[in-house]
């Protein structure tokens, strides 16, 4: 390894391998010294008990006990010798010589019991230090390994409240709610678990169950998701009345009720989002549009999905920014602060926003109702969004983002006659329809995303199910498309 490379230092030649070993040893030594200095200065004290080898650990008590027991035991023997010597001296039983012998025996025991201390302590300190070093290096390897695994998989936490990228969440002990600010595998507090000051066991790694603890954001101190997962944003973009909020409800419900169970992928909802998610399912099953307040809260509605074989789940941040906000970028916050993690976009198009299409339906006597008055065309919506995003965040993260272009409301009578599209169509025919009415938009979309696929759907469905629930049509195609893209 690294043959042919070396340096001469202090009259000795050091090969590349030797230099590497020396370098690693030096780094490890530095880290151990930093750890020791942290302990001495009391920095980063978490409310947990230190492990055996640490300052407040049991080694000190054990050492004190060993020393004091040994010395005390020996001194009590010496005491017996002195007592006997004094008795013999006074009574003159075996002559003075016996008494003097016993006195010196006592003295020898006394002196050796004190001489034992350095004789015992010096090797003890040496062995202790070696074990301490090995233990620290082992802990460091575990810590770095755990960190590297999370890093390589792209696992980290995003605060759903202040959109801060959280590198070190604060975890709360389940027993006493004490805050552990640096919950990592460490030599000081323990590798897989640590003992909280309250006596409770606190897991330090994802494999030992860290996600069972409550986590908070160190910046805004609000609750964050504690499971280790790969964050990805899935954004529903569309003009007002395009039906994108409706589609998000369909997407969430069908994903959990049908598509994921069918694919045998695991999924879970964090306690943080449980209430909102339940409300969405409830509204869906009752056939009622989801309340604006449930969706308006743009932050953090998450679903964790895990395909068999994935090491970590993906945490999908569902995000439905209010349609009219695309011209005012600050209204896009905080959801779009995640835009760096934007992986999936659903661009919802209201076909009736095209004058020609609307006219064709009116000619056929179809009442499009009051909901169909989109003030912005899809093209204007997308251009406004792009401008706002670029102004605030720079270019769209094109490389990583795929887009489902969804033509909604395909259940209306005469839809096929006017558009040439059938509900559930995917790909070419949908793209051809858009090309015809909004060629510029197709160009823009394909330029800004890695991949675009086109769908004709009905988010609201033509009719209700047997219990009055919504029966959206074509939406499962969109879900399947994204799941296929996830790998």
Q: Does 176 help bind Zn ion (rule: CB under 5 A)?
A: yes
Q: Pick the stretch among 19-27, 194-202, 360-368, 446-454 that binds Zn ion (CB under 5 A).
A: 194-202
Instruction: For the CB of residue 347, give the shortest distance to Zn ion in the complex, in Å.
Output: 29
CB of residue 189 to Zn ion, shortest distance in Å? 12
Contact residue for Zn ion among 95, 145, 175, 261 (CB under 5 A): 175
159 lies in the binding site for Zn ion (CB under 5 A): yes
**Under a CB-based contact definition with an 8 Å cutoff, are residues 306 and 263 in contact?**
no
CA distances, 353 to each of 322, 324, 368, 375 (Å): 17, 15, 11, 8
181 versus 462: smaller Cβ distance to Zn ion: 181
> Does residue 198 interact with Zn ion by CB under 5 A?
yes
Q: Which of 110, 132, 155, 164 binds Zn ion (CB under 5 A)?
A: 164
Residue indicated by tokens 């998989």: 153
Does 162 sit near Zn ion (CB under 5 A)? yes
When asked if residue 172 is in the footprint of Zn ion (CB under 5 A), the reply is no
6, containing H or E segment: strand 6-9
Is 180 near Zn ion (CB under 5 A)? Answer: no
Hey, which residues between 202 and 241 contact Zn ion (CB under 5 A)? 217, 219-220
Contact (CB, 8 A) for 336 and 392: yes
| The residue to which tokens 């370098």 are assigned | 23
CB 360 within 8 A of CB 415: no
Q: Does 65 bind Zn ion (CB under 5 A)?
A: no
Query: From the CB of 219, what's the least distance to Zn ion, in Å?
Result: 5
Quote the least distance from Cβ 62 to Zn ion, whole Å.
25
Q: How far is CA 241 from CA 233, 373, 375, 458, in A?
A: 22, 7, 9, 13
Residue 265 tokens read as 């992928």
Stretch that binds Zn ion, among 26-34, 177-185, 341-349, 405-413 (CB under 5 A): 177-185
Shortest Å, Cβ 48 to Zn ion: 8
Q: How far is the CB of 11 from Zn ion (least distance, A)?
A: 58
- Sign of the C-alpha dihedral, residues 438, 439, 442, 447? negative
Write the CA distances from 103 to 83, 90, 445, 467, integer angstroms. 9, 13, 101, 101
CB 380 within 8 A of CB 386: no
Minimum distance of Zn ion from residue 217's CB (angstroms): 3
Q: Between 105 and 174, name the residue whose CB sits nearer to Zn ion.
A: 174
One residue of 78, 157, 158, 173 binding Zn ion per CB under 5 A: 173
Provide the mask over 103-142, with x wherever binding to Zn ion is found by CB under 5 A and - wherever it is not: ----------------------------------------
If the CB atoms of residues 170 and 430 are measured against Zn ion, the closer one turns out to be: 170
Q: Which is nearer to Zn ion, 159 or 290 (CB)?
A: 159
Residue 333 binds Zn ion, judged by CB under 5 A:
no
Nearer to Zn ion, 273 or 438 (CB): 273
CB of 44 to Zn ion, least distance (A): 17
Which residue, 80 or 214, has its beta carbon nearer to Zn ion?
A: 214
Q: How far apart are CA 134 and CA 400, in angstroms?
A: 43
Least distance in Å: CB of 277 to Zn ion? Answer: 21
Nearer of residues 71 and 220 to Zn ion, judged by Cβ:
220
Give the CA radius of gyration of the chain: 36
The residue range among 14-22, 169-177, 422-430, 443-451 that interacts with Zn ion, by the rule CB under 5 A, is: 169-177
**Minimum CB distance to Zn ion, residue 165 (Å):** 10
Q: What three-state secondary structure class fits 121? A: helix
3-state secondary structure 229-295: CEEEEEEEEECCCCCHHHHHHHHHHHHHHHHHHHHCCEEECCHHHHHHHHHHHHHHHHCCCCCHHHH
d(CA 323, CA 310): 35
**Element holding 335 (H helix, E strand):** none
Of the candidate residues 98, 200, 322, 429, the single one contacting Zn ion (CB under 5 A): 200
Choose which of 106, 113, 157, 161 interacts with Zn ion (CB under 5 A).
161
CB of 391 to Zn ion, least distance (A): 24
- CA-to-CA distance for 358 and 352, rounded, in angstroms? 5
3-class SS at 74? Answer: helix
**45 or 219: CB nearest Zn ion:** 219
φ/ψ region of 236 (left if φ > 0, alpha if ψ in -120 to 50, else beta) reads: beta
Q: What is the DSSP letter of 342?
A: E
User: Is-contact 344 232, C-beta < 8 A?
Assistant: yes
Q: Supply the minimum distance, in Å, between the C-beta of residue 449 and Zn ion.
A: 29
Contact call for residue 178 and Zn ion (CB under 5 A):
yes
Which of 299/403 has CB closer to Zn ion?
Answer: 299
Burial 411-425 (b: 16+ CB within 10 A, else e): bbeebeebbebebeb
Interface stretch with Zn ion, choices 18-26, 103-111, 151-159, 379-387 (CB under 5 A):
151-159
Which residues sit at the interface with Zn ion, rule CB under 5 A?
159, 161-162, 164, 173, 175-176, 178, 196, 198, 200, 217, 219-220
């Amino acid at each position: 390894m690294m043959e042919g490379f070396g340096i001469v230092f202090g009259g000795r030649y050091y090969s590349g391998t030797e230099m590497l070993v020396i370098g690693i040893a030096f780094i490890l030594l530095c880290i151990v010294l930093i750890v020791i200095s942290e302990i001495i200065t009391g920095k980063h004290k978490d409310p947990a008990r230190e492990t055996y080898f640490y300052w407040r650990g049991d080694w000190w008590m054990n050492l004190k006990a060993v020393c004091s027991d040994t010395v005390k035991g020996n001194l009590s023997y010496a005491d017996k010798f002195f007592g006997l010597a004094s008795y013999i001296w006074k009574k003159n039983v075996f002559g003075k010589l016996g008494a003097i012998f016993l006195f010196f025996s006592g003295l020898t025991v006394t002196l050796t019991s004190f001489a034992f201390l350095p004789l015992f302590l010096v090797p003890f300190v040496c062995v202790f230090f070696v074990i301490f070093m090995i233990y620290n290096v082992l802990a460091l390897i575990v810590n770095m390994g755990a960190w590297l695994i999370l890093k390589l998989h792209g696992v980290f936490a995003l605060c759903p409240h202040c959109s801060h990228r959280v590198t070190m969440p604060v975890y709360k002990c389940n027993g006493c709610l004490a805050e552990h600010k640096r919950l990592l595998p460490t030599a000081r507090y323990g590798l897989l678990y640590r003992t909280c000051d309250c006596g409770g066991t606190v897991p330090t790694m994802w494999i030992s169950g860290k996600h069972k603890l409550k986590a908070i954001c160190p910046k805004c101190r609000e609750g964050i998701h504690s499971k280790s997962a790969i964050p990805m944003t899935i954004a529903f973009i569309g003009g007002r009345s395009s039906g994108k909020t409706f589609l998000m409800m369909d997407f969430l419900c069908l994903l959990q009720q049908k598509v994921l169970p069918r694919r045998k992928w695991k999924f879970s909802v964090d306690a943080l989002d449980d209430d909102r998610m339940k409300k969405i399912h409830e509204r869906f099953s009752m056939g009622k549009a989801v309340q604006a307040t449930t969706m308006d809260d743009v932050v953090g509605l998450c679903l964790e999905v895990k395909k068999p074989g994935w090491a970590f789940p993906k945490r999908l941040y569902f995000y439905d920014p209010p349609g009219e906000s695309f011209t005012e970028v600050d209204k896009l916050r905080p959801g779009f602060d995640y835009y760096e993690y934007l992986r999936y976009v659903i661009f919802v198009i209201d076909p009736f926003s095209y004058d020609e299409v609307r006219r064709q339906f009116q000619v056929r006597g179809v009442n499009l109702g009051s909901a169909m008055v989109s003030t912005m065309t899809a093209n204007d919506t997308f251009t406004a969004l792009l401008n706002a995003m670029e102004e605030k965040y720079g270019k769209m993260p094109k490389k990583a983002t795929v887009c489902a272009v969804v033509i909604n409301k395909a259940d209306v009578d005469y839809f096929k006659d006017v558009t040439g599209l059938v509900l559930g169509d995917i790909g070419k025919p949908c793209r051809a329809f858009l090309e015809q009415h909004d060629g510029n938009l197709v160009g823009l979309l394909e330029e800004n995303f890695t991949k675009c696929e086109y769908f004709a759907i009905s988010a609201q469905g033509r009719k209700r199910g047997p219990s009055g629930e919504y029966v959206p049509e074509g939406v499962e195609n969109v879900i399947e498309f994204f799941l296929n893209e996830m790998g």
